[in-house]
Amino acid sequence: MRPTSLEEYIGQEHLVGPGAVLRSMIDSGRITSFILWGPPGVGKTTLARIVAETLQVPFYTLSAVTSGVKEVREVIEKARSNRFFNSASPILFIDEIHRFSKSQQDSLLGAVENGTVTLIGATTENPSFEVIRPLLSRCQVYVLEPLEAESLLGLMRRAIETDVVLSQRDIEVKETGALLRYSGGDARKLLGILELIESAQPEGKIIINDKAVTERLQQNPVAYDKDGEQHYDIISAFIKSIRGSDPDAAIYWLARMIAGGEDPKFIARRLVISAAEDIGLANPNALLLANAAFDAVNKIGWPEGRIPLAEATVYLATSPKSNTAYLAVDAALAEVKRSGNQPVPLHLRNAPTKLMKQLGYHDGYKYSHDFPNHFVRQQYLPDALKDVRFWQPADNSAGEKKLADYWHRCWDGGR
């Protein structure tokens, strides 16, 4: 059932629809290296194969689970020997590229840089965390979304009409709610569910409804209780439970992830993000503890790693909450985008040379430690923004209130 052309490809219109970025590159006959980031079963591998088929170039594939540096170098050498003058580069597709070690990723750099291969990577993890910066800088990152209901239903209809087995059966679709819910935006899961239902009724008419789907999946919980749609739904429930100060719910969702085989580093990263985003200045120790839990999990692994994760989860859930730092940096980024590169005031500029000093760099700067209480009023923002405030302290915890009181004492209520 794997599509072989863009016309057959389902979903991801923002990438392959008319005029979209990937579609335009493919239509031009020249593509640059890129990484496809998205949940399982949304068409990452299929899209890579379609690109190679459309461009009529050699297609090499490696799995990060089974391949090492030796295999990478062998494939690159094959690609180099199959490269013809002025032709498009062969495509090297690496599935689960986030599992490649640093040395494995390093071995790709030269070939990607000089065009020996065009790299297409596929990952379910954030490339910013898992792909080394030199390789990431040579690749565009495109995000694939879970398939919408309309796309999944289109895939179901096509499977029923054209699949070698399903097309020979008398199938009536009465309800699709459970089918869509259990598929969770994953095309592979949907096709797997159809296969399970068909195999459960080797003869006679097949009725697809919510009851049939639910009953069949209860007989095969392991097949669908992994980290497809639940990878995103459960981590969302986990973080929202921490944000909502409910330690029991947070621990429950943590247990669901552990039982489902979730990557412990993924959980630990989310705890670090939550500590900074949701607890923040209300309890700065939360970030230290979350980071320590991340370090501990890396050192001790499973099953003992569940203990520091649980400790950090309960601590974060029961900590006072503040997102003022998160809001402040986003507000500042929005201002940078709006007003561009505002000049640094002269008194704040560095003056390492005589010419800079003559131009007034550093002139008038007041060294805070030379003044009572190590504070002196002076302008630190660019002239055009001198009265803007990005940080709005919250009066919701002893920790942040103490920071806010100090700030107000210094500035008498603001600039």
pLDDT of residue 181: 81
Contact 345, 304 (CB under 8 A): no
Residues in the chain: 415
Q: Which residues contact 166 (CB under 8 A, 6 or more apart)?
A: 159, 160, 194, 198
Supply the pLDDT for residue 221. Answer: 47
Residues 6+ apart with CB under 8 A from 248: none
Q: Take residue 60 and report the two structure tokens written for it.
A: 């090499």
pLDDT of residue 207: 86
Q: Is 380 exposed, middle or buried (0-12, 13-18, 19+ CB in 10 A)?
A: exposed
Report the half-sphere exposure of 309 (CA within 13 A, side-chain side): 29
Q: How far apart are CA 415 and CA 411, in angstroms?
A: 6
What CATH code would you report for 229-317?
1.20.272.10
Q: ∠108-15-117 over CA atoms, to 5°?
A: 20
Give yes or no for a contact between 284 and 270, defined as CB atoms under 8 angstroms apart: no
H-helix or E-strand containing 140?
strand 140-143
CATH architecture designation of domain 13-143: 3-Layer(aba) Sandwich (3.40)
Low-confidence ranges of the chain (pLDDT < 70): 83-87, 218-231, 351-362, 396-400, 406-407, 412-415
Q: Which amino acid is residue 79, in one-letter code?
A: A
- Residue 183 tokens, joined: 């598929």
* Domain 149-224 in CATH 1.10.8.60: yes
**Secondary-structure percent of the chain, ordered helix, strand, coil, rounded to 5:** 55, 5, 35
Write the class of the CATH domain 343-411. Answer: mainly alpha
Neighbours of 133 (CB within 10 A): 8
Cα 189 to chain centroid distance, Å, stands at 21
How far apart are the C-alpha atoms of 165 and 168, rounded to whole Å?
6
**The tokens 């389902």 sit on which residue?**
10
Tokens 């090492």 locate to: 68
Are the CB atoms for 229 and 260 separated by under 8 Å? no
Record the pTM.
0.55
Place of tokens 């921490």: 242
What pLDDT is attached to residue 223? Answer: 42
pLDDT of residue 299: 87
What pLDDT score does 224 carry?
37
User: What backbone torsions phi and psi does residue 59 show, to the nearest 5 degrees?
Assistant: -125, 115
Three-state DSSP class for 119? strand
Please report, for the chain, the start and end positions of each structural domain, with discontinuous segments joined by +.
13-143, 149-224, 229-317, 343-411
